[in-house]
Structure 1
Amino acid sequence: MGLIDYVSDLRKIIGTKTLILTGAVVIIVNEEDQILLQNRNDGKWGLPGGLQELRESLEETGQREVREETGLRVKDFKLLQVFSGEKYYFELDHGDQFYSVTAVYVTDVFEGEFQNNEAEGREVRFFNQDNLPDNLTEEYLDYINSWEGIN
């Protein structure tokens, strides 16, 4: 059973009521101190990452999601912080509600052929920290700002 099946099965039971969903994102920094971002299919920018699947650790979630969305394999990543709470409550257009619990990792060690997965997003590219896109979602801005505070 994959994540889609798991969440769909839960939704059949509880409808749009609030769930707690866990996931991971990875701040990938290149040699020029730029951050890799993904222009998602909704037109907003964010960090590569996504929801945790059954039987998967949060570290594995970060690795899998980065590979699926960018073609890259990340190594030597460190946990920056876990974000949760009222600020990370979301209600989707179709009514599904959830609280997000997100582990944010950071790495500058990655390999592989850099490529965008069009099923996951429109584009992936590196940005200077002082020139991030305007339509970066608030939660991702929180993650990046927490890293910049210790960087």
Structure 2
Amino acid sequence: MDYVKEIRALVGSRPLLLAGVAVLILNEEGQLLMQHRADTRDWGLPAGYMEIGEKPDEAAKREVREETGLAVRKLELVDLFGGKENYILYPNGDEVYSLTAIYQCKEYDGSIQMDEESLALSFFPIR
């Protein structure tokens, strides 16, 4: 995420408006893949910010691959979310307002492999 690092070097922790993606990954049993994130220590969806010149669906596929090891075959756009509800205050003090495209994925290849952004990855039943 060199772009965000470059911007942070200029503006410090002040709020940024960033375009993000998140993916609802469902297995064959209808369980949802959740990620215990290393940066916030919260459970959430595989997600991240778009890179310069990247399309939202490309970013979603890249983030899923980087954070889970899974290769997405098909994505369906669920909705876009923004506004005050998408404010994030990271533990290091960085502030972000995100416009986030949420996708759903039921078709993927590979097996779960964690990277440094994850403390855990696990499928959970949806109630």
**Structure with the higher helix share, 1 or 2:** 1
Q: How many residues align?
A: 126
Query: Structure 1 or 2: larger strand share?
Result: 2
User: Once the 2 structures are TM-superposed, how far is the Cα of residue 90 of structure 1 from its aligned partner?
Assistant: 2.3
Alignment CA distance shift 1:30-1:68 (3 Å): same
SS of residue paired to 1:116: coil
User: TM-score, normalization: structure 1?
Assistant: 0.77
Give the match for residue 92 of structure 2: 94
Larger Rg: 1
TM-score, structure 2 length as denominator? Answer: 0.90
Question: Greater relative contact order: 1 or 2 (C-alpha under 8 angstroms, separation 6 or more)?
Answer: 2
* Distance across 1 between alignment mates of 2:119 and 2:108: 21
User: Could you say if the C-alpha distance between residues 39 and 94 of structure 1 is closer, same or farther in structure 2, counting changes exceeding 3 Å?
Assistant: closer
Match of 2:11 in 1: 14
**What's the counterpart of residue 139 of structure 1?**
none
Residue 122 (structure 2) aligned to one of 121, 125, 138: 125
Matched with 1:52 is 50
Q: Within the alignment, does 1:62 sit opposite 2:56 as a pair?
A: no
- Aligned residue type for 1:19: L
User: Aligned-residue CA RMSD in angstroms?
Assistant: 1.4
Give ranges in structure 2 of 5+ residues lacking alignment: none
Q: Which runs of 5+ in 1 are unaligned?
A: 131-151
Distance 1:115 1:12, change over 3 A: closer
